[in-house]
Structure 1
Amino acid sequence: MTSPAPVLRMGSAAGRGTLLAAVLASGMVFLDSTVVNVALPRLGRDLDADVAGLQWTVNGYLLMLAAFVLLGGALGDRFGRRRIFLVGVVWFTLASVLCGLSQDTSHLVAARFLQGAGGALLTPGSLSVLQASFHPDDRGRAIGAWSGLSGVSTALGPFIGGWLIDALSWRWIFFLNVPIAVVVLLAAVRWVPESRDEAASRTQGPGRRHRRFDVAGALLGAAALAGITYALIDAPVRGFDSLPVLGSALVGLLGAVVFVLVERRRGDTAMLPTGLFGSRLFSVLNIFTVVVYAALSGFTFFLAVYLQNVVGWSALLTGVSLLPMTVLLLVGSARAGALSARIGPRLPLTVGPVVAALGLILLRGVDPGASYWRDVLPGVTLFGAGLTLVVAPLTASVLAAVEDRFAGVASGFNNAASRAGGLLAIAALPLLVGLSGSAYEQEAALTDAYRGAMLWCAGLLVAGAVLALLLVHRPPRQAPPSQPCHSLPASTPPRPGGR
């Protein structure tokens, strides 16, 4: 049972104000995700960061989002969606200020961890307040407007962020969140109604079962991801046989095993009900998500650094260079979703990664002094076209692979899977291509690493295509493709949805 909330209409002042708060809050998070990679070379020089510092700047944020986004959604259901949304906005903004004020890499990484925790509260809340507050007749329009306007904010990210980095400092990509957050808070306090899941709020009573948060599951999931990530990032410096690397790897593996055991014991009350994996299609699609989003995150991480440190482009031109991906996703995702609904997801999920992999092979040949139109645009366009074939069909298939009552947790887990894929790729790829220390500032070393990384990412995409070809089939029902589950990092439009 959900508490009654004011029923908002799109044409009302409260409806427009609620939509404004949700769009700006999501845009604040997505804007950071599109420009942080672009800022890496500049902040690396200013803070004298090594490769591990750059990796943790991205991965600290991704780790907290992947581990706690499901818990953030549950907190909103229990304590009030607007309340947790507001807490998330304030938390994210204060952490953004700390990021901008950082004087060394350790401070920046710690602030990015805090920012990711705020994002885990904010991200599910921005959509859940729309879902809970709008009249059913207007809910689809509100969510569609949120998705489209959030995409526009992401498209503007490379322009705004690149200009700020070049004209002022990388610190301003974080300070920019402050005025946006002020508008969000004013709009949310004025117009966003409170709502909660009363079943989640009841704790005890005659015939009622005590319901608890799965904090243990969230902490174990975070320990598993953190341990494995630390081992991968630290191994090039300390060696695979060092005690810290072996210890963190052991913590990660044990955390993963205990996480599975705990979630299985909790059953349907778990953060991640293991019964979901009784659907082979759901399991396969989430493995596919990890693989494809690992390739996406690895590609954008390396390309942003390579274009600035080797090709010699500005931060603005680097950000804008990936704009065709954003445009293709904004224009083509709905069409790809409709195509998947007609013919099933297997063909789009097979062809899309192959097309994207061909784009990476073309981009592998980019040399110093490269021309954007001749050397970069064709590869970026192919990659974006391939990704467009994947995003909406993947989302619809994930939601259609489980019962309706598990749609929220399935969407949230797929969101976390996409971020976990990016987290592991950014941790592992520098190790695989031999990039460590300050080598990202050396043209020859970075060029070799970049070309090796493009091959690894293309290989991941081909592996995803093979997985889809062999194991993906048409779900028993197709979910609407208008609410994708996950967010695309680094200069691509976010397509989040659910918790």
Structure 2
Amino acid sequence: MRNKNSFMSKLAVLSVSLVLTSAGSINGALPLIESGLKISNTEMELLSTAPALSVVIFVLLSAVLADHIGIKKTIALGLLLVGVAGGAPMLLQDYSVILASRFLLGAGFGLINSLAVSIINVLFDSEPNTKATLQGFRGSAENVGNATLTIIAGVLFAMNWHMSFAIYLIAFPILVLFWIFAPEVNTEPKTGESAETESQFNLSPTVWIMAIFALLLVMMFTALSVRFSSMAVAIKGENYNA
């Protein structure tokens, strides 16, 4: 078993989060996609938001799958889906097929989403300081990854809108890094853990209120992100790189 405290092991675990929030990183290309595919504004925006639906579904399925094949293999499968489905529109011209690939992209994100947190919690359960530090870095990795991939998508957009989807190919080197250096994860419950886990599901009303607030916040940011490119192009002209 690899040393979980080595720099490369920690980097491998954290690198997974770099792609987690990148579903909207291609939003700047949406107006050109609309004109290129000759689709409606609603259909265009659906390309950006479709991954969110499959994320919800596959977040729920990821725990079941992880119980059967393990956390590491489930995350690896999610990264593979992100790379293949995310990069597929580079070669596609049909709207329905591109929409299906975006749905599969969300499925990949869903398989990774909760497990990116869980793998840190399981590996460093006996080291609370390290666990807290890595969870902080993991959250930062999401924002850094989103910002970086959005910038790269904008640069690639200068070639054509298809190339914007090349940002998801980063999932392949992350997959290699993760598979080689991430330790295997033992998910067998410890003695007395079942009762403790059961008690954790008794959530207080405050938690539910915070969850609803978080949901509204994400919805607002998603709406702003999807509409911004269309507004920018309407003001600056159709060739403007939003």
TM-score (norm 2): 0.82
Provide the C-alpha distance between the structure 1 equivalents of 2:18 and 2:218, rounded to a whole number of angstroms.
20
4+ long deviations beyond 6 Å: none
Q: 1:63: how far off?
A: 0.3
Alignment: residue pair count:
231
Whether 2:105 is the aligned partner of 1:151: answer: no
Q: Deviations over 1:233-264 (max 9, x none)?
A: xxxxxxxxxxxxxxxxxxxxxxxxxxxxxxxx
Change (3 A) 1:185 1:289: closer
Whether 2:152 is the aligned partner of 1:160: answer: yes
User: 1:314 maps to what in 2?
Assistant: 240
| Same amino acid, percent of matched pairs | 23
User: 2:16 maps to what in 1?
Assistant: 25
User: 2:216 maps to what in 1?
Assistant: 291
Show the 5 A alignment for 1:73-92: 73-92=63-82
User: 2:205 maps to what in 1?
Assistant: 280
User: 2:225 maps to what in 1?
Assistant: 300
Match of 2:96 among 85, 95, 106: 106
Change (3 A) 1:70 1:36: same
Provide the C-alpha distance between the structure 2 equivalents of 1:71 and 1:133, rounded to a whole number of angstroms.
21
Provide the C-alpha distance between the structure 2 equivalents of 1:142 and 1:287, rounded to a whole number of angstroms.
26
Match of 2:165 among 156, 159, 174: 174
Provide the C-alpha distance between the structure 2 equivalents of 1:141 and 1:283, rounded to a whole number of angstroms.
26
Q: 1:193: how far off?
A: 1.2
Provide the C-alpha distance between the structure 2 equivalents of 1:41 and 1:95, rounded to a whole number of angstroms.
21
Show the 5 A alignment for 1:458-477: none
Provide the C-alpha distance between the structure 1 equivalents of 2:208 and 2:121, rounded to a whole number of angstroms.
27
Change (3 A) 1:127 1:38: same
TM-score (norm 1): 0.42
Q: 1:74: how far off?
A: 4.2
Q: Which letter maps to 1:147?
A: G
Larger Rg: 1
Show the 5 A alignment for 1:386-401: none
Show the 5 A alignment for 1:130-209: 130-134=120-124, 136=127, 137-166=129-158, 168-178=159-169, 180-199=170-189
Q: 1:82: how far off?
A: 0.6
Provide the C-alpha distance between the structure 1 equivalents of 2:157 and 2:101, rounded to a whole number of angstroms.
19
Q: 1:109: how far off?
A: 0.7
Change (3 A) 1:184 1:62: same
Change (3 A) 1:294 1:181: closer
Q: 1:52: how far off?
A: 2.6
Provide the C-alpha distance between the structure 1 equivalents of 2:51 and 2:231, rounded to a whole number of angstroms.
22
Structure 2: gaps spanning 5 or more residues: none
Change (3 A) 1:174 1:197: same
Change (3 A) 1:287 1:143: closer
RMSD: 2.6
Q: Which letter maps to 1:29?
A: L
User: 2:34 maps to what in 1?
Assistant: 44
Residues 30 and 44 in structure 2, CA contact (< 8 A), matched pair in contact too: yes
Change (3 A) 1:61 1:164: same
Q: Which letter maps to 2:19?
A: M
User: 1:463 maps to what in 2?
Assistant: none
Q: 1:78: how far off?
A: 4.6
Q: 1:199: how far off?
A: 4.0
Q: 1:6: how far off?
A: 5.8
Residues 57 and 107 in structure 2, CA contact (< 8 A), matched pair in contact too: no
Q: Deviations over 1:343-397 (max 9, x none)?
A: xxxxxxxxxxxxxxxxxxxxxxxxxxxxxxxxxxxxxxxxxxxxxxxxxxxxxxx
Q: Secondary structure at the match of 2:236?
A: coil
Residues 6 and 133 in structure 1, CA contact (< 8 A), matched pair in contact too: no
Change (3 A) 1:196 1:71: farther
Change (3 A) 1:139 1:282: closer
Match of 2:56 among 50, 54, 66: 66
Provide the C-alpha distance between the structure 1 equivalents of 2:138 and 2:175, rounded to a whole number of angstroms.
17
Q: 1:97: how far off?
A: 2.8
Provide the C-alpha distance between the structure 2 equivalents of 1:127 and 1:99, rounded to a whole number of angstroms.
29
Q: Deviations over 1:110-148 (max 9, x none)?
A: 111111111111222333223322461422232223333
Structure 1: gaps spanning 5 or more residues: 201-208, 210-267, 319-499
Change (3 A) 1:177 1:287: closer
Change (3 A) 1:287 1:28: closer
Provide the C-alpha distance between the structure 2 equivalents of 1:280 and 1:141, rounded to a whole number of angstroms.
28
Provide the C-alpha distance between the structure 1 equivalents of 2:226 and 2:175, rounded to a whole number of angstroms.
32
Q: Which has the higher contact order (CA 8 A, sep 6+)?
A: 2
Change (3 A) 1:288 1:29: closer
Q: 1:298: how far off?
A: 1.5
